[in-house]
């Protein structure tokens, strides 16, 4: 009998999503950072995303509720950013043991609300369920938003010869960055408007996992300049490739133009680094990165 651990996360998702039928109005189904469907009209389409946090997997017990709440919503915002989209409305499902402190839950909701408001969204409802005592808490956030019909970005439209770039510095997320990161919403929308952007995704599982995913989705191989990978202070290249939960942008751009100079003027405190290029061939793989089922 096959198990998720034997398959690994990507293979499991592929095996399950192939069972789903697409309906009318679906522009982008499973496989990208968000789904895209028809509506609301007037040159816009709708973007949908859901994500979850599990205690002991995405954060440690004892983490302040405000930080957990921020992360729960920021993960969804980061995926919207990766599509070049705007955030709209959010629904929250919380499954919680009955002995959890209410003050902690209030902090959780304060953190979620703070993040939603900062990025132009609002929490409009949800669901609450009980769990047996001792079972890890689960928070699920589903969001809807919008993007211009001719302005949304897939991870699978890269071409051989496109330059590969990342924002910020990578690695060391466990030191606290994964609870305090700022989704690159404004920066992503700037890229859509100012450079020949081909493909984009956010770095949630580590560059070692996400770069091959982008290349595979684009039908390309890739060349990674390991010495160019921007590392967080005190972090080596292997950690920068594999730690995950950076929530920076990985994107492919058709070479040419002065957009890098314009970027430096617009975002002087956030570096952008060329780390390689897409090329002909198969995507291949890199060692490291996060897999929920720890294939092996």
The pLDDT tens digits for 9-20 are 888 888 988 898
Does residue 193 register a pLDDT over 90? yes
Nearest residue to 165 (alpha-carbon basis) of 187, 143, 137: 187
Average pLDDT, the chain: 94
**CB contact at 8 A, 109 and 70:** no
pLDDT tens for 252-289 read 999 878 999 999 999 999 999 999 999 999 988 898 88
- Are residues 202 and 79 in contact, defined by beta-carbon separation less than 8 angstroms? yes
Q: Which helix (H) or strand (E) holds 36?
A: strand 35-41
Cβ pair 157, 192 in contact under 8 A: no
Q: pLDDT tens digits for 211-230?
A: 999 999 999 999 999 999 99
- Alpha-carbon distance of 20 to 173, in angstroms, equals 34
Q: What is the pLDDT of residue 295?
A: 45
pLDDT reported for residue 228: 97
- Global pTM? 0.94
**Mean pLDDT confidence for 183-212:** 96
Under the banding of pLDDT at 50, 70 and 90, the label for residue 137 is very high
**Could you report the per-residue pLDDT of 85-130, keeping only the tens digit for each?**
999 999 999 999 999 999 999 999 999 999 999 999 999 999 999 9
- From the number of C-beta atoms within 10 Å of its C-beta (0-12, 13-18, 19+), residue 61 rates as exposed
Burial 3-33 (b: 16+ CB within 10 A, else e): ebeebbbbebeeeeeeeeeeeeeeebeeebb
Domains in the chain with CATH codes: 32-148 (3.30.1330.10), 163-279 (3.90.650.10)
């Amino acid at each position: 009998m096959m198990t998720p651990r034997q398959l690994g996360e990507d293979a499991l998702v592929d095996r399950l999503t192939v069972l789903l039928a697409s309906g009318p109005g679906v522009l982008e189904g499973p496989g990208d950072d968000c789904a895209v469907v028809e509506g609301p009209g007037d040159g816009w389409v709708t973007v949908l995303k859901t994500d979850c946090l599990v205690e002991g997997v995405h954060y440690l017990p004892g983490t302040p509720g405000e930080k957990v709440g921020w992360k729960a919503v920021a993960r969804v915002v980061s995926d919207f950013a990766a599509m070049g989209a705007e955030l709209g409305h959010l629904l929250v499902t919380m499954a919680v043991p009955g002995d959890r402190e209410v003050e902690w839950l209030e902090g959780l909701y304060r953190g979620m609300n703070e993040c939603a408001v900062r990025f132009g969204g609002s929490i409009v409802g949800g669901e609450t369920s009980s769990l047996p005592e001792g079972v890890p808490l689960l928070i699920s956030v589903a969001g809807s938003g919008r993007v211009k019909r001719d302005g949304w970005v897939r991870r699978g439209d890269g071409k051989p010869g496109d330059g590969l770039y990342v924002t910020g510095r990578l690695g060391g997320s466990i030191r606290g960055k994964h609870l305090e990161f700022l989704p690159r919403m404004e920066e992503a929308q700037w890229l859509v408007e100012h450079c020949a952007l081909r493909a984009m995704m956010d770095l949630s599982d580590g560059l070692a996992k996400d770069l091959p995913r982008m290349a595979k989705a684009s039908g390309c191989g890739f060349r990674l300049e390991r010495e160019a990978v921007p590392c967080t202070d005190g972090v080596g290249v292997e950690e920068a490739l594999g730690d995950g939960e950076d929530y920076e942008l990985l994107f492919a751009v058709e070479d040419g133009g002065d957009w890098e100079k314009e970027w430096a003027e617009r975002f002087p405190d956030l570096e952008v680094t060329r780390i390689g290029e897409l090329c002909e061939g198969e995507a291949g793989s890199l060692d490291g990165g996060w897999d929920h089922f720890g294939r092996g």
